[in-house]
Structures are given as structure tokens and as C-alpha cells.
Structure 1
């Protein structure tokens, strides 16, 4: 610790603290311009200059470290004159056009000039009278060099927040200049259009084009949670005249002032889209057209028809799907409606097609099916990261940014992925495994760990069970055998195992490349096996960490939108649990486990499911084997869709109910790290759209169940009263915190950042004896290419939200298939050619992207685009435990296509 005095106040701070941060601790404000914490501390603006006794000249507070006995003064005549002079020098290079500047009212330079009484400069003004030289080919961002003060905050933000290094300084004669990558060749640059640079810029030099729509004093800010991936980024919606015009990042626990391109630019256009459903619609059976209806007509029809089907065919003939993009409170009421009114447990959510294997697998091995450690914990101070089947730069971009920075700081990185993803270029080791061989890879890793004597014998002995059986199994998974199965080099597998096992802090981070297989649950349990074997659970910087897909897919599972679980994973089969919910809901409940979502569709074709309520999901686009899904929907007697848009699934509905978006309601999302965070209403739109919870409550009362009307906050109170892991969570408490990570078992409980500390939720951790089994469908003579699917950075799932932002569609607007160069040459296909891709289930036309990103005999497609939706091809083969489809492996053939 270091003792010093600032403006006559004594303070003790840690060594290596800057004068600026020491002053902040005393709530003494020192002006800054180029400085931005964690981003830039080059001290070029000289606004933070202070006096230090015994020093011959002023020093920069932002990058001068404290020393024992320092006596510092932050204000004096000399300091004020110095700051005034610096402002005058800066103004000489800064074109003044404040009234028309987009940053008018929020320009840090002009605010400081006002504070120090500087309104003119005595120096020759370089850019006086000039028109700005605007670089603005990028759809979202623009740069005006005549407003640039060369503070380099944009350079620091791109490097230190985004980890991208797309903006750099270059020499321009005598001076440094900013090379902004927004010109005509912006698509070829490293820029991801995340806008973190614009957020850092203190002037109007580098701005988001959205700034032209407003001035800051015309707006209000509403703090909320991003509706895209499950990172759970916190940001402000900027609202002008009841319209969302922009987004501004907040220093949330999972994003720390970062946003990706979707969060910053693709999270509000859809809210105001002209394509929004605004009125209830009922399909005319004679014409097949939808006709506008009143809410009473629509709700009466929905309630009466479901009750008619239940009476005629029994309660098991009905089912309901919850929306994993909606708040927890909506999901809770949907599953309550299905259980109390439909009188069935045929309720599920889209986790069934992405991460149900994580829920099932981790619940079996550890006792809790969720991410074990916080995002910051596994990216900030760790020795090694093992990234398996996950491409966070595209699917969870803000997590990807933090991993990039971890590697820059010296963290070692092991990438296990069939493709050359962006992070594989930064990896120490890239194991480019054959798709579908995760279990073999994990068993091979454990074989090496045991052979090298790197297993944590004490942890295994005291905290686990089943190790001996697993030891027997992995004995046969030698590096030579795994090399043949996974198509990887033996020495790289051995090195990866040593690197992971020897690291003190080493998390496993995985995603859909592990789960979306017919052996997805075994893949998840194999990740758990590896972590337990080396004792890397219940500790900082370690754990098994699935990156959940959609913004609230964790919450959808937490809230009981599962056929065998009540909220909080309380088992339907547990008699005491069943009786608790029967008492609370004043209703005799069906004790039989329901169908999974992926089982509902074949049951519909078989005539077992007659009525289906789909809330906010679009399975025609998202589920495998599209022809199969369409046939199932057409087999239903009655389909109701509650959504924002006329989706492909909604077109098959009998009744469509228009709900409201995240920006029009109160509630909570649970992000991938189990953090429950607030969603807040920002706007009210014209139309007859209604809160989804009110829709469900209206239907419940019409179907004979007396459900009082509850606010979102009151619904969360009911959830807390019935769910031990949520017992201490309420809107009131969340409004005073940065979110709470469950389990939170009382109002005094702080939440649980790291799971399984000292003891696993199930008691002893279980080593699951997983053996490698081949994928359900492998290439053959007819379909010789193995195809994988995944996400791209600029879109989310069906593009229902991101597709409404023109800039995102400009950057990435059509489908493609990645092909290996050898396969393409053999087929006579060149990069950019049209190709026909066929599987046993369908065929599509798309564009070839030829490279070495995928191995010979393999290919990869995104599933976002209607002009070539990969899910017409994918295989609906299901995992034994979680009933998750095998999106990641199907056999296709590719041929040249001439229009």
C-alpha cells in the first residue's frame, strides 16, 4: 500500500494505482479527454495534468503511478492555464460546427471548453471553414477527420475492448492520423461494425449514423438487456418521441461497456417495423386468408377450441411451446397455462433444439444443468481456455471479444472445432476434429491426462464417483486411435491434454458444436468428465461453461418450460413437488411427463397431438427437416401462434395473436451465466398488440381456470415463492443490483457466481462412462459430403429481428455453403458459383464459398437465410436423453447449378 495526500486529503491505495484513480477514490474529479478506463491511457491530451510536490513540471494523472509520500494538487492557477492552453491547441485542429454537429450536447471537448472558459483559439485554425471529409461507406459508422483530436480512444477501444485492431494510427506527414476502416473497401477490413469505437470517441469525429436522428437533450434513456444471444449485455435504449433511435452500452457484468453489431444496431429496428402484427387474425377456412378479428373473438375461439379438443381427445392431445426470447415471467405463465388449462405437461422451448443436452448432461453429472462460472471469471484472469464446438466471435460476439483480449494478455487457447474459425488463428493449438467425434476427443484427452499422471487424485477421491469405470473406458482411447477417429495429429492431442491439465485456471467453454448431435448429452457429460478429472470445478477461472444460444433460453428452462420439470428444475416425478404446485395453483395436475418439442411433430403426424399453441417460435425455419415440420403443422386440427411477425410458422396457424417485444414490456432475462437481469419498457406502439402475460391470463380464465391479473413483478414474486433457486429474486431487488445469479435462496442471499464450490449440487460429481458412437447419418456414395450448420455474426436465428435492419442485410444478406477447395475442384465449382445442395430430405440452391476453412469431405452452412435454408436438409435424428436434433452432421451432395 502507498500513502499520499491529494488536495490536503490523506489516502492509502495499492501500489501501481494511478494518480487519477487515487483521486477518484477521494471523489476528486480530474478532467480527461483522451483517457478512457481500460481503453486508453496514452496521456496525449494533457487535460489531466496535476502538480506533485518536488516535481519540476506538471504530470499526467492518467498514467503516472503513485509513490509513497506524494503530495498532489489537482487545481491551481498554473494547472488551469495549462488546461486552457491545451484546449486552445486542440481547438486549432478541430473544425467548429457545434450547432449542426451530431454530438451537440454530448461532445466532451466542448463541455471541457465550457468548464474552462475557452471559446476561441489564438492559433491558426487548420480546419476552419472546411467541409468535413466524411468516410462513411459503412452502413452504421462514419468518420470526419476534421473533427478528430487524435486522442486515439477509438484505436484503444478497437484494440482493448473489441480485441479487433481494425482502427490504427498512421503517419500523415508530421502527424499521426487515424486510419478509419469505413471507406469503400470496408467489407475487406477487419472491422466488425461493432461501434465500440464510436462510443469511445469524445467528439463528433467518429459516430454512429443513428446520431443524426436526435440530439441528446431530446431523448430519454432506458436501461435494459439485449434480446439477441445469451451473453446478457446491458445497454440503454435511447428513446425520442416514443421511438427507439439508438443504443448506448452500459457497464454490465457480462459486457463491461462492450456491444456487438447486433446489439448496437440490430436490436430496435424490428420493434418499429411496419411488418409488426398489430391485430388478432383468424384464418377463413373457406378462403385460407387471414381476417382481422377483435380480441374477444380471437380469445373466445382459442379457448373454446382447445377445450373442445381436450374433451374430445383428452388432455394429452394438446401441447404448448414457450418463447426463449421472451422474459421469464411470460414463459412462466405460458407453462402454467399449459399445465392448468390444457392439463398436460406437453410443454417445451427451443432449448430442445440447441442446449437441452447441456441441461440434461450437466444435471446428471453435476446436479445442475447450467454454466458453472461467470463470463468475466473465465475470460479475465485465466491461464488457458479450452474452446470446444463454439465460435463465440460469431454466435456470442462480446464473449468472443473478451476471449481475444485474454489471448492478448497471454492466456493460452485450445480450439477444438471442425472449421478454421476466427479464434483458431489466435490459438496455441487447433484440433480440427471430424464433426460428431467430441466424445472420442474427450476420451483421448482423459487417456493422456491419466497416462501423464495429471489427474487430480485427491479431487477424484473426495468429490466424485464412477471414476474407475470411466478409467477402463478411456484406456482404449489412445492418441493413435483418437487420431484416426477425429482426423487429428496424435502429438497435438497430447499437447492439448497437457496444456489444459497443467493450467491452474482453465475453463472449458462449449456451444452447439457439442450439443447438437445424436450423442449431444454424452458430449456434454464428456466435457464434465474432463473438468472433474483435473479438479477444475467449483473454482475461479475454471468450470464447464455452455454458452447458451438465445437471450433467454436459460430462463425458458429455469421457468419450467420443460416436459418433466417445474420451474427451477423441480421434478414432476417428485410427489412433494407436484403437491406443492397443486396447492399453490389450486389445481389437480397431470403427473405424467409430457412430450418434448421434437416429439410433438411426429406425434402430430401420427394424429396424437391435435392442438398446439406456439409462443414466439418459428419451427418451420429453425427445426430440422423442414418438410417434416410443415407436414406436422398441417396435420394439426388447431394451431395458435402468438408472435410479433407473420413468420413462416404463423402462416399455418388458425389464429394469430399479436404480442409485444422486449422493448414494450417489463420483465427479466436469465443470461448464460445464470444471471437474472431486468428488461424494462421503453416505448408504447400504436395497434392492438397486448402483453403476452395478459393474453395467457385472459385465455386461462376463459378456459375455466381462475387466474388473477398480475404485473410482471407480481409474477416474479410467485415464481420466487415456488422456486427455491429463485427465492431471493424480485424486480425490486434486481433494480438495485447488476443482476443476481441463481441459486439465490433468500432475500439476504447474494446469489451464486460459481457453482459447486466445496460440494456438487448432486453431492458427488458423477463420471459418466461415455463411449464414442458414430453420428446417425454419415456420407456415402449418394451423399458424399458431411454438412454442418451454424450462425454468422450479423444475424440471429430466423432474422425475425436482425433482418429488419437494412445495414445488417447489406453486410450479410444471403445464404452460402462453405466448401473445401479440393471438393470444389473435383466438382468444377468456383468460389461464388451457384450450387444445388441435396440431402435425403430436400434440396436448396445457394452460393459456394470455396476455401480451406472446412476439411475435405466437409461443408458448412448458416441457417439464417430463406433463399437457402439449411434446415430443409438437416437430420431430425434425436439424442437419446435430451431429444435434441443432430443439426451438426448430415450427409449431402453438392452439384453445380445453372439458372
Structure 2
């Protein structure tokens, strides 16, 4: 009587290894016989696995969480019966990585790590190498992990069923010793879900959770740097008041009274509009809502803003003007799954939004064509079908040129244009002059490249546009966003699956901070101050009279401090002395304030200049929500006990407002979300109770009622502009505000890198990050083209002096071909050479966003 051994697909996540085979009974075989056969087969498989696995359970980091250990205990096989060679033939442990250890003697060659690297991270770092008993997992066909192209995402560690791949300093405690608590990552706007592993109140590890945007994936920062900073010993724990140039500890009552009294006195002496507040795009929605309400009902002004002003304010203004909403139109899953072409412009996705970048790599692996428009050879250009490496600052000209091709070749969607848009004829007349030949000269491209990109995008059925700060951070950033909108509308690729216009938000909750009304132009829900219906609505809801005048942006507030128009400023969780352009000017502006309050986790460079520093709570100590780049509202859970004696941030804002005579009181963040839902129609159906039922998916606004499932794709039937139609904008190309000349011959662009994040407040407090950052130097670096480097006698790693019209810094040369000749690139992550000493503070005329992407500099070797 035959018995078949039926093969099953090996599970990609946790599951018993021996369940990869099952037994099928035949010809009426009884259940007992079948069970005996199955047990014998499983014991045999466990025996085979143990034959190639070093057994040292009590000294292994995976003790208690090892699947082969669990299977051995379940089947009663504790030692292999096979006679096998000693494991020393395999090779030594690889401990080169600052994050991951690999022990080949514990590896059972299941291939899960390879699959995770190939099929999830889409990086192809790991492979099975060697033959026979010398077979092992190898990085880059034999390199050490740290010498490979590994991004240290840790997804291989998560997939490993034994102790072969382990995270350094992350002991895997037994399941019964720990609790998994899900929350949302505090880094970029992707909105990845994380399981924090908690033991006795301490976070001991982090793992990816199966969120809608991250699909059980994390990047190096989410996996290894999302919690250590919260337990850092240099956290602020007491309010500090500066007296005679030195900070002194104070009680909360003393500090809050002092803050309220000083702001009240300035308000009485100079008027409400002499005060301003900056919100924190890394903090929860509920805190941001409370902050803007404090400024409006306590200070009595609309001088409130958030860091979108230095990143994605052009998206809010640009798409708000053309489509009616300034948010991402589609979902991450929709734009990276089963699409024909991805048009990526001004986004170094694999470094700024690594998990989304990995999904783009996956889309290309599955057949999607990728068009990259970027002045640098970013990582994704290696797999792109087409890379348009245009000169910095020429986005509008290039997009006009692509539209010229589409119209002349009859590829425009005339039906969509006629039924759902207006303003087309004026735009068409303008772009008629932007021939591929003319645009090629402006952009430094070949006409054939422009034609090919236009045809590929226009002819595709599903083709999303994905963009980031390479479009917005210009003195014409809003025009760049509007030009993208023109292009998508021209071919009818808005309001459809696999299409749309998709800005990738920079910080984790910059979308939410904008939604909450942390803007001088808008109240919560983008309800315009100059709309006659807005103020009465909020005055009734908040029970107070509001200031009707549009406020100043953050990029207007600081210069106004120097002229004496702004006297008092409250900064919540931002560090403009590091992040804003022209650092020397920012320092003078902050010093000109009569009164500066900084509410922070750490003593940042801006906090050091404050008159009062208030300690804040990290996202791990709060209950609330973040809203990610795709409008997905997701829960943030309190994972660790708040620092003793530190107030909830929203309660600080309530207390200041009340002590200044305003009406403002919230008991919990859930109460704040209920008020948000009451005043913002797009959040009308969102509550903590509803989000509890959607732990992995959240809810995407607009979600207008308790029965509304949310809106994955915007503008499906009509646009949210008055009249329901989108509008084409007529946008001629204008040269950047500052161009190279004989004195400053190089064009500098600034941006992010994978390992550090913005001001380093979170990332630098994680061991390993500093080792991997800065091209391995933990120092600032400037990318220079090898042709220019040879002309100046500069070698890779040499110290150089970099100067602009605003300042001079020293850095280290990273020589290669990533940037074009006569161009350069820097980040602002490093204290030893912050590029913002150089950058141009000239702003967009509409959104008031600075020009971080085009700055004229000179580079000189520093002689030893």
C-alpha cells in the first residue's frame, strides 16, 4: 500500500520547517498508519537538518525562538544519527557588519534569507555558494557582509529560522519572556509598521510588521535605529530656564508660568502677530493639532508652520491648485504592483524611502520599465530603462519638452482633457515652443532621450509619476509640481489604478502636520483662512474669536525676527539651525528674538540658543496617529513608559494656551482625534476605535463617516477643485535663482543618504549607524566628478574646502561619476560639514520653500 510524500511550498515567514512535507494516504489507508508515516518522515527531516547544524542552544541568541529547536523538541530528535564532517570545514563567522552576524555552522541552507534578499528587498546580495558540505550563504559571492552592497535592512535576520543570522546586540528572548507591540516607524513618510519587542518594560528588539505600505519589510533605520534613542541617557528630563547665560532646572509650574507670562507680555506690547510657533512633523497628529490650536487660541496669531515649508509645501500648493488636493493620489502598493512604467523624478527613493525603493526594484524585476529623471546616478539608475541625467534646476523645461512630444505625436488623451480639465489650450500653446531640440540644450540631454521618455510614459496603460524633493526644493518648486500635474493630466493618468501623481513625503508625519492645519494659510483639513466659511466654523467649534489674517511661513518668520517684527517663537521638535539654508543667517535671526522656547527630546543646536527648553516625549511614549505619504492614518502606540516627570506634549500646549487666556483642554489624545474628526471632513470617520479594527491597514483619508472605508485613489470621478475639473497651468521655464560663474563654478545639490536621517537626533544614537554613514568615514562628504577631481589634483578621501556666497566649510571628497562634471552633492546630516552653511535661502514665490537643490560653490583642495 503506497504512501506519497507530498511537497509543499516553504513558507516565507514563520512556520514549522518540517511542515514543508505532508503525507497523503492512499487506498483507504487508516489514519493511525498515516500518522506513523508522517511522524517518521518528520523525524527524518529534523534529523537531516540537525546533521548540518551546530548545536549550542544555551549559548545561542536564538535560544527559545529557533524553529529547528522547536521542531527537534516536538519530534524528540536531539542529536543527528548521520555521520557528517566537522563543521569547521564551512568557514568562520562573519561579524564584519555593525548590525548582523552570520554563523555558517548554524545555517541549514533553507534559503529563506536568500529569498528575503532577492524577492522582498530585491537587492540580490545573498546567494548560496560552494558545494557539498562547504556550501554556505555568501554575500556578493564571497565578500564579507560589510564589504558587500548589503543595506543592513535586517530582513534576512527576520527570515532566518535558526541562529545563523542574528542582529548584533539584539538578543532574541524567548517568546514567553517578551511582548510584541505594534507601532509606526518614526523616520520617513513610508509609514512602515514595526513590532517592538518588549521585555520587563524595556524594548530589546524590533521586527517588521505586515503593514499595508511595508509588507513585512523595514530599512536599516526602522530595524535597528527606531528605539535606542528613546532610552538615551542624554534625553532632557526637566524644564530648563536660561538665567545669566546658563540653564537652570525648573518645575513644570514655574516653567509654564514663565513661558506664558513672557509670551503674554510680548503679545501685549507688540501684538499677537509678533509671536509664532513651529510644529513637529515627526510627532503625532494629535500633538500637531494641539500645537496649532495653542498658537491660534493662545497666541492669537496664524503664524504657525511645519517643516513641509522646507520640503513639500510646493506639493500642497501645486497639486492643491491643479487638482484640488495636495496629497499623493494613489497607494504605495498600487504604484509598485503590476504597472507598465514608473516615471521617477527628483527622488532618490532607495535612500530617502528605502522600503518603497525596494518595492520599485521589485516592480522592475517583475517587468516594469523605469524612467529616472535625476542629475545624479542614483542607485535606481542601475536598473532603469532610461536615465535622463539633466542639469539641476531644469525640471520645468524638461516636462514641457515631454508634453510637446506627446501632443505632436497625438498621444494626448483628448477625451479625458475635454471631459475633466480646463485651461488646456493655453498650456498647449506654451509648450509648442519647447521642442526636444530646444529643451535638450537647456537640460544637457539628447533630444532622442526626451522623445523616448515621453513616448514610454504616454503609451503605457499604467504609469504612475513618483517624485520627491528634487522637484519641490527649488525657487520654482511649485511650478515643477504643477508641470508634473500637467503631464499626468495630458495623458489622462489621474484618478486611475496604477497611475496618478505621487509625492513621497520626507518625514514620517509631514503629511499629518499639514492635515492638522500647521500652516499659516490653512486651518485643519486645508480649510482656507480666506474662505468666509472657515473662521465662523472654527470659532464656533473652539468657542473663541480667531485672528482672520493669514500668517507668516517659517521661512518668513526667521527673517522677520531679525527685523524686529517677530519677537517670540515656540519651536516644537525642529532644529532650524541645522536644517534651514544659510546657517549663519539663521543663527543671527534666532539670536534676534526677544524670547525663544524649544520643546525637544535632546539639547539640539537650536535648543542651546533658547531662553526656555521644555522636555518632550518620544513617539514610543505616546498614544496617537501618524499619517503617511499615501494619506494612511495609522496608530502609534505607547510601547515604553514615559520618562518620569515629563508631561505629555499636548498637555504642555493646553497649559500654555490656558495660562494665556485661551480656551483649550484635552484629557487624552483620543479626545483630540475626536475633535479632529468633528472639524475636518476628510478625517470625519477616523477614531481610535476604528483604527483598532485596522491595525495593519489604517484608514486613508478622505474617510468622511464611521462607515466610510477610506479612499485609496483620489479623483476617480471628479476633482476636488470647484466645478470638479482639474486645471492645466501655463508654466514657462525660468533659470534657477543662482547659477555657477567663474568665482563659483560648481552647482551643488543637497539631499539625504540611507543611514543618517535629517539632524541625526534619532539615528546617531544607534551603534553601527555612524560606522555605515558618511561613506564609511562618519564625516561629511562631497561627491565630485572624477574629471573635475583630476583637474584639481583631488583624490577620493582628500580634505577639501567648499565655499558659497554665504559661507565656507571643510569636507571630504567622494570622487566618482555619480554627479556630472561641474556638479556636486552633499547631505546636511554631519556636524563637521553641514551643507546648509552654503545653501541658498531664496524661496519659491508661491510656497516659500527654499532652494536646496541649486547652489553655486567653489571647491579647493586642503593641503596637509
* Match of residue 253 from structure 2: 296
What's the offset of the Cα at 1:703?
1.1
Q: Distance in 2 between matches of 1:496 and 1:333?
A: 46
* Match of residue 119 from structure 2: 160
Q: Distance in 2 between matches of 1:519 and 1:707?
A: 39
Equivalent of 2:783 in 818, 821, 840 = 818
Q: Distance in 2 between matches of 1:507 and 1:446?
A: 16
2:768 counterpart SS class? helix
| Matching of residue 787 in structure 1 with residue 748 in structure 2 | yes
What's the offset of the Cα at 1:607?
0.5
Is the Cα contact below 8 Å between 1:357 and 1:882 reproduced in 2? yes
Residues 675-718 of structure 1: per-residue CA shift (max 9 Å, x gap): 00000001125442221011111111211123223201110001
2:571 counterpart SS class? strand
Equivalent of 1:861 in 818, 821, 826 = 826
- Unmatched runs of 5 consecutive residues or more in structure 1: 1-18, 21-29, 58-71
| Matching of residue 841 in structure 1 with residue 798 in structure 2 | no
Map 1:878-893; keep pairs closer than 5 Å. 878-893=843-858
- Unmatched runs of 5 consecutive residues or more in structure 2: 1-5
Map 1:420-431; keep pairs closer than 5 Å. 420-431=377-388
2:171 counterpart SS class? helix
| Matching of residue 503 in structure 1 with residue 460 in structure 2 | yes
Is the Cα contact below 8 Å between 1:802 and 1:808 reproduced in 2? yes
What's the offset of the Cα at 1:46?
6.5
What's the offset of the Cα at 1:204?
0.7
Is the Cα contact below 8 Å between 2:188 and 2:507 reproduced in 1? yes
1:837 counterpart SS class? strand
Q: Distance in 1 between matches of 2:140 and 2:750?
A: 30
Is the Cα contact below 8 Å between 1:607 and 1:635 reproduced in 2? yes
Equivalent of 2:344 in 363, 383, 387 = 387
Is the Cα contact below 8 Å between 1:516 and 1:887 reproduced in 2? yes
Q: Which runs of 4+ in 1 moved over 6 A?
A: 72-75, 128-132, 181-184
| Matching of residue 772 in structure 1 with residue 748 in structure 2 | no
What's the offset of the Cα at 1:172?
3.2
Equivalent of 1:809 in 762, 765, 770 = 770
Is the Cα contact below 8 Å between 1:93 and 1:126 reproduced in 2? no
Equivalent of 1:491 in 432, 448, 464 = 448
Equivalent of 2:195 in 236, 242, 246 = 236
Q: Distance in 2 between matches of 1:445 and 1:720?
A: 42
Q: Distance in 2 between matches of 1:466 and 1:775?
A: 26
Map 1:426-825; keep pairs closer than 5 Å. 426-737=383-694, 738-762=697-721, 763-812=724-773, 813-825=778-790
Q: Distance in 2 between matches of 1:539 and 1:513?
A: 25
The TM-score with structure 2 as length reference comes to: 0.96
What's the offset of the Cα at 1:102?
1.2
| Matching of residue 322 in structure 1 with residue 279 in structure 2 | yes
* Match of residue 5 from structure 1: none
* Match of residue 11 from structure 2: 35
* Match of residue 335 from structure 1: 292
* Match of residue 346 from structure 1: 303
Cα distance change on mapping 1:475 and 1:731 into 2, 3 Å: same
What's the offset of the Cα at 1:629?
0.7
Q: Distance in 2 between matches of 1:313 and 1:244?
A: 48
Is the Cα contact below 8 Å between 2:508 and 2:626 reproduced in 1? yes
What's the offset of the Cα at 1:725?
0.2
What's the offset of the Cα at 1:97?
1.7
Is the Cα contact below 8 Å between 1:51 and 1:74 reproduced in 2? no
Q: How many residues align?
A: 850
Query: In angstroms, what is the RMSD of aligned CA positions?
Result: 2.2
* Match of residue 99 from structure 1: 58
Q: Distance in 2 between matches of 1:477 and 1:52?
A: 69
Residues 267-310 of structure 1: per-residue CA shift (max 9 Å, x gap): 111101111111100011x2x11111111111110000000000
Q: Distance in 2 between matches of 1:270 and 1:314?
A: 39
2:846 counterpart SS class? coil
* Match of residue 6 from structure 1: none
Q: Distance in 1 between matches of 2:128 and 2:372?
A: 31
Is the Cα contact below 8 Å between 1:135 and 1:182 reproduced in 2? no
Map 1:64-143; keep pairs closer than 5 Å. 76-124=35-83, 126=85, 133-143=92-102
Structure 1 stretch displaced more, 700-709 or 786-795: 700-709
Structure 1 stretch displaced more, 673-682 or 815-824: 815-824
2:229 counterpart SS class? coil
1:453 counterpart SS class? coil
* Match of residue 16 from structure 1: none
1:270 counterpart SS class? helix
* Match of residue 851 from structure 1: 816
Q: Distance in 1 between matches of 2:34 and 2:185?
A: 41
Cα distance change on mapping 1:76 and 1:846 into 2, 3 Å: same
* Match of residue 842 from structure 2: 877
What's the offset of the Cα at 1:778?
0.4
Q: Distance in 1 between matches of 2:200 and 2:621?
A: 14
Residues 75-134 of structure 1: per-residue CA shift (max 9 Å, x gap): 643233212211111111111222222112211112222333333332235558999942
Cα distance change on mapping 1:206 and 1:174 into 2, 3 Å: closer
Structure 1 stretch displaced more, 301-310 or 291-300: 291-300
Is the Cα contact below 8 Å between 2:298 and 2:660 reproduced in 1? yes
The TM-score with structure 1 as length reference comes to: 0.92
1:720 counterpart SS class? helix
Q: Distance in 2 between matches of 1:444 and 1:498?
A: 12
* Match of residue 257 from structure 1: 216
